[in-house]
Amino acid sequence: MLNVLSVDVEEYFHVEAFAAQIPYQSWDQYTPRVERNVERLLELFARYGVRGTFFTLGWVSERMPHLVRKIAEAGHEVGCHSYAHRRLHRLTPDQFRDDLRAARSSLMEQVQKPVVCFRAPSFSIVKKTLWAFDILAEEGFEIDSSVFPVHHDNYGMPKAQRSPGWYVTPAGNAIFEFPPSTVRLMGNNLGVGGGGYLRLFPYALTRWALRRLNEKERRPAMVYVHPWEIDPAQPRIPAPLKSRLRHYTNLATMETKIESLLRDFRFAPLSEVCQLLDVYHKNARHPGTGEVIRLTA
């Protein structure tokens, strides 16, 4: 089974864990490290003949357009990760639309093709920001990967569907949601296969969880990583202990875990995996009520 391999292309100083210490206005004061880290990931993926989806910030695209072109020229899909990595609950719908347009315009200028996949910063499409689906659809996006069906202090919709499927908004806009992967244990959803979950858990647990998704549940997994996660030499930011633990724990082991995943599983870009799913061509669900709606298209 083909799984999705995705990369959130952002700097170490863009992350939500350090948002209180590093405001957007100060980003240009920090030394960029994302280019070399992305190049290392591209080299690793090429070694195993794997292509993925790189959700890229507009901020990165404007400052490093050659990096976006390099990603696309290597055969990977370029998706949008917003412009300024601001969680959606901090934006009005109009501000989100402006941010989205700025990012997508820059990305499409580099890849010379439509950018149709989106991932919100910090998985910040939650119950109170479902309005984002209408804006995404109106701006030309077809696939989203922002709704994380887990309990978490920064994000999550624990009752959202765990499997990929269509959402239809009250305004009638449809968007295909491919959530980050979870497994169901003791009545709760446990995040697996990406970010801190991949860094913190032993690889044997990650491999078991992804095999369970592929073989028992018969669904593809979503793996997501960040370039800064393979960079243990990155500068240390003075931040609260909780933030530092989340960001820095097991950075030295991440590249080895990614390579193990590339060896043990099959991967492809998000839009290609979606095209292979029967549900991509069938039913939709209302994101608020869960009601099944038959698509006419």
Q: Tell me the sheet residues that pair with 292.
A: 285
pLDDT at 172: 85
Closest CA to 125 of 83, 82, 184: 82
H or E segment to which residue 253 belongs: helix 251-264
Residue 9's Cβ-side half-sphere holds a number of Cα atoms within 13 Å equal to 36
Q: Where are the domains of the chain?
A: 2-294
- Quick one: pLDDT at residue 185? 87
pLDDT digits (tens, 9 = 90+) for 129-186: 999 999 999 999 999 999 999 877 777 788 888 999 988 888 889 899 999 999 998 8
Q: Which residues make Cβ contacts (< 8 Å) with residue 278, sequence separation at least 6?
A: none
**pLDDT given for residue 168 in this prediction:** 86
DSSP letter string, 61-95 = HHH-HHHHHHHHHTTPEEEE--SS---GGGS-HHH
Tens digits of per-residue pLDDT, 195-204? 899 999 999 9
pLDDT in tens, 119-138: 999 999 999 999 999 999 99
- Look at residue 283 in the predicted model and tell me its pLDDT: 58
Q: How does strand 2-9 pair with strand 117-118?
A: unpaired
How far apart CA 208 and CA 205 sit, in angstroms, is 5
Stretch (H or E) spanning 143: strand 143-144
**Distance (Å, whole) CA 226 – CA 40:** 12
Nearest one of 278, 271, 292, 79 to 167, comparing CA atoms: 292
Angstrom distance (rounded) from CA 5 to CA 3 = 7
- For residue 295, the model assigns a pLDDT of 42
Q: Which CATH architecture has domain 2-294?
A: Alpha-Beta Barrel (3.20)
pLDDT of residue 288: 54
Strands 165-168 and 174-177: antiparallel
Q: What is the pLDDT of residue 297?
A: 31
User: Measured in whole angstroms, how far is the alpha carbon of residue 74 from the centre of its chain?
Assistant: 19
Q: What integer pLDDT is reported at residue 71 of this predicted model?
A: 98
**Nearest Cα residue to 50 out of 287, 274, 261, 286:** 261
**Residue ranges, the chain, pLDDT below 70:** 281-297
Asked if 136 contacts 144 with a C-beta cutoff of 8 angstroms, the reply is: yes
222 three-state secondary structure: strand
Give residue for tokens 């099959």.
Answer: 266
